Chains A and B, each alone.
Chain A
Amino acid sequence: GRATATPSEAPLSAEEGHWSYPASALRSPAARPGAGGEPDERRSLRRWPASARCGRAAAATEVSAPRAVPPPPPKPEFQPPGRTHASGEHTPAGQAAPASGAGRNRSRAAGKTYGGRDRRQRTTSWVLSPRSPGGRRQGGRLSPGERRRLPGRKERAWGARPGEDSASRPAERLPERDSGRYYDYIFDFNKSRLNPAKHNSAAELKQLLVSVVLESECDLYPSITSDESYTLAVEGPVAFLKANRVWGVLRGLETFSQLIYQDSYGTFTVNESNIIDSPRFPHRGILIDTARHFLPIKTILKTLDAMAFNKFNVLHWHIVDDQSFPYQSVAFPELSNKGSYSLSHVYTPNDVRTVIEYARLRGIRVIPEFDSPGHTQSWGKGQKNLLTPCYNGPKQSGTFGPINPILNSTYCFLSQFFKEVSTMFPDQFVHLGGDEVEFTCWESNPEVIAFMKKAGFGRDFQRLQSFYIQKLLGIVSTLNKGAIVWQEVFDDHAKLNPGTVVQVWKNEMYHVTQAAVTAAGFPVILSAPWYLDWISYGQDWRNYYKVDPLDFDGSQEQKKLVIGGEACLWGEYVDATNLTPRLWYGI
């Protein structure tokens, strides 16, 4: 085994240092959906982790054994892949978690904490040496021969495959670009010292070898069932990052990038590590609110970057609300023409596509929220007769309330509108809102009252709201989309299709709500304890951290229905000036 007892900070000056796929992986059809088969190759690729899987327990003591790969994820019905592992890898708290957000990192060598900076004396370190900046070249394709002479930029190495044209092979572009990003994160020459000292030791990490075991899903969008597990084995001269899908590779690259540090001589160093990692929950989101304040695209993209650093995988885009309607609809352009703050405070279809693709490249889903029937004041400006006219006695007051639930035209509009939304946003889910519906305007409107009577709702406006929501849910399900709703929709006893996801946001007794929703068999996203816009003095991140999303009374089956959570940064007092520090410092 590796002599971990001699803590030589073994430098690896990577004369040839670059990261690449193993040659076999490059040619493997497994990494390219739809490509012709080379069955032998594929089998060999699969065999490798498979053997490791069998020998997992033994591998814990044998450092030079092949790396283990977690079993393929189950086909979850809202079951997080990580949590259905039979092998019971629950990591005790306090075990080395070298990467922030890496929930279940696990050192394979028993009793040894790899990558933990505090125990550096017990670890073996490997040095990564990027080439000098002079060797950098933007783009351009190289022959395999060149590639060996020009190490350093793995993106170059990866772009060097003969016959590969990135444009025609979108399937291969995702990790390729990604490696470029991570190369910069790690070896950013502006921030790092330029000439790391030469080490004499031979312990040198030359490559990070990335392999995708199953179909890569390179050209797909991430989804609720995406497998994000990966294994990372850092041992010179070649480090291995293996995952079933590209999404796991992305998470693993992030971890890898967080393992590397510069020692006091400026040498890039990484501790020998073996990490088996997968997320506890498949839905790990951030809510941004672009209605109270418009957020420039740049800010959203920067947020996506930081989300990837934290292994978040869902951007919940609360895109419109009472205050403004910045989403530029193709079918109903007047909505944003009249409902946005200004014509420069608008997200064009191109902007939306930019966000979605940028997110996809980081393994992040984009779930749009078009909240209705409440929180829709801004819709009224560009869509006549959509909102309920409020009455003052027998006369219309000139103000408007929630969406008018009693008109056919409403549902006709919603059908068309959500048809557009469902094509614009590729994710399986759309968030339909449904929170905080104010009944006073409905109550004031004689036509609404008459409708209520006819429908037999009496004075129960919750039933009217449920009536609306159910029709909307029906529309959305015909578009083959899943729906997420705020908890009121459940609280008000609307009849929900199975699989409708309920987002719990009310802080009071949220454990009880979680229990009730899961007892009724609906999946839950927890947000109540994570309203990041509620700032206070000091380290409030500690309170966020202490929350256990499964801390409620319920059966195992119920707990499995908690698919994750979201940190919400509502926009009443947040815009591009303070979003970043509020999101990422928790102070």
Chain B
Amino acid sequence: MVAFRYHASSAAQPGCSVLDEAFQRYRDLLFSSSWWQPPERTRKQHAPEKSSLVILVSTPGCNELPSLESGENYTLTINDDHCFLLSETVWGALRGLETFSQLVWRSPEGTFFINKTEIEDFPRFPHRGLLLDTSRHYLPLTSILDTLDVMAYNKFNVFHWHLVDDSSFPYDSFTFPELTRKGSYDPATHIYTAQDVKEVIEYARLRGIRVLAEFDTPGHTLSWGPGAPGLLTPCYSGSHPTGTFGPVNPILNSTYEFMSAFFLEVSSVFPDFYLHLGGDEVDFTCWKSNPDIQSFMKKQGFGNDFKQLESFYVQTLLNIVSAYDKGYVVWQEVFDNKVKVRPDTIIQVWREETPVRYTKEMELITGAGFRALLSAPWYLNHIAYGPDWREVYMVEPLDFKGSPQQKALVIGGEACMWGEYVDSTNLAPRLWPRAGAVAERLWSSELVTSVDFAFKRLTRFRCELLRRGVQAQPLSVGYCEQEFEET
């Protein structure tokens, strides 16, 4: 097996960046690995024409970005006559190449083999995401790119980039450069420049991965404050400002002018149709303490219901973002607090038990006609002793009361790796292979549920990840031929 070739009638032909580069990547992964000796060409089982995998993509689209609607199905045929990969889109071809690369094996003599097979494959859910948090700890660009590689090995297709939060503001805004200058951990080293962001987006695109950027407001914004004076709510103790700040100040026009300008930039920097606007865990104590906010509430007739104030803010923000022709994803609180949102809003469920169990939450959200993303059972930053991937694997995203129409509104889910205790020192072993359990749940049919079988495959896959240089941690006792080597 030496080459990847475009079929003569393929819509994608040499020059198609997505596939040209994928061919190179998989050639390297399969045959140029320093750990795999080149095969000795002794065996004759293989007819010469089988030394290439022929790819036929039926629709063009090499230079586009993957989207929520992108098809990823493919057919892989390996038989006596040919090795053939057929897909509608280049994204499907990428998934097929990944599968192909996992089917190739090598005999002890060094000959590469692939068993005869006929695979028709497509994902169960179109949104299969992984959240990384670059605010609690900065992740160097290489960590992010490496993660995108492994996401592709696991057929994830959304990188949810939780860029900023209370702890730091590493996103280098050209409209408001002070945000990073004052809000990042270190403006010289701990930031993502426009160039970095572009690189991430293109690297992801070449792997069929969307980049969903999250700028969480009005809570989780402490790091915005130093670079945007007047943006955050001053907290009061009695009649005096305490010098501390709360969520974004929702009662000032200047706030919305700022958000308009900021999200105009974000909308153009991040080309995906969707933005994640956060909206989780808004702490009302500071708002409550502020006399200006109290009088605003009175004027608006909100009484003491700060959820209404939150709704006021979020609705105004959503209107701003809608005007930029963007769709949006928000955390479940926005739904829980009854913010009026556009019907095409996507709600991400993250709370396991409150205000209701997450299955109930899924039922309520889809019952109200919104699309839902599931994350609650997939907080991979919550670690425990032993094989905790099993519980992750056993989750059934559609296991809630609801009509088929409701279930159809579940567009997928995301594994979340929040960064309180995670940085580039431990990100990879914490993610892999555990996140693989989520990936399979979101890709494979609901009938694929055997944990024991998954254990065997995941164990083998972990060794394959080690061979590919990924620092994937063990699932149980045992070994891999190729262990991880410190550099």
Contact = CB atoms under 8 A, between A and B. Distances in A.
Tell whether A pairs with B: yes
Interface of A: 292-294, 296, 298-299, 302, 323-324, 341-342, 344-345, 533-539, 571-578, 580-581, 585, 587
Contacts of B483: 294, 296, 345, 575-576
B385 A578 contact: no
A575 B473 contact: yes
13 contacts: A298-B485, A299-B486, A302-B486, A344-B481, A533-B385, A537-B382, A539-B421, A573-B474, A575-B474, A576-B483, A577-B429, A577-B474, A585-B425
B8 interface: no
A345 B381 CA distance: 31
Residue of B428, B430, B478, B483 ringed by the most chain A CB atoms within 10 A: B483
Nearest to A341: B479
B477 interface: yes
B479 A578 contact: no
A537 B388 CA distance: 12
Contacts of A580: 425
Nearest to B462: A577
Residue of A299, A533, A578, A585 ringed by the most chain B CB atoms within 10 A: A578
A577 B478 contact: no
A261 to B, nearest CB: 16
Nearest to B487: A298
A573 B481 CA distance: 17
B477 A578 contact: no
B479 A294 contact: yes
B477 A292 contact: yes
Given A533-B385, A578-B430, 20 more contacts: A293-B474, A293-B478, A296-B484, A299-B486, A341-B478, A535-B383, A535-B384, A535-B385, A536-B383, A537-B382, A572-B386, A572-B476, A572-B477, A573-B387, A575-B473, A577-B473, A577-B474, A577-B484, A578-B474, A581-B426
Contacts of B421: 537-539, 585, 587
Contacts of A294: 479, 483
Interface of B: 381-387, 421, 425-426, 428-430, 466, 471-479, 481, 483-486
A573 B473 contact: yes
Residue of A296, A573, A574, A585 ringed by the most chain B CB atoms within 10 A: A573
A578 B384 contact: no
B137 to A, nearest CB: 11
Contacts of B385: 533-536, 573
A538 B418 CA distance: 12
Nearest to A293: B474
Contacts of A342: 479, 481
Contacts of A539: 421
A577 B471 contact: yes
B463 to A, nearest CB: 11
Q: Which 7 A-B pairs have the closest CB atoms?
A: A581-B426, A578-B429, A341-B479, A587-B421, A578-B473, A576-B484, A577-B484
Residue of B429, B466, B477, B484 ringed by the most chain A CB atoms within 10 A: B477
A537 B381 contact: yes
B479 A537 contact: no
Contacts of A535: 383-385
Residue of A293, A574, A581 ringed by the most chain B CB atoms within 10 A: A581
A324 B473 CA distance: 18
Contacts of A537: 381-384, 421
Nearest to A340: B479
Given A296-B483, A536-B385, A576-B485, A585 B476 contact: no
Contact of B425 (A298, A302, A572, A581): A581
Contacts of B384: 535-537
Residue of B387, B474, B476 ringed by the most chain A CB atoms within 10 A: B474
A585 B481 contact: no
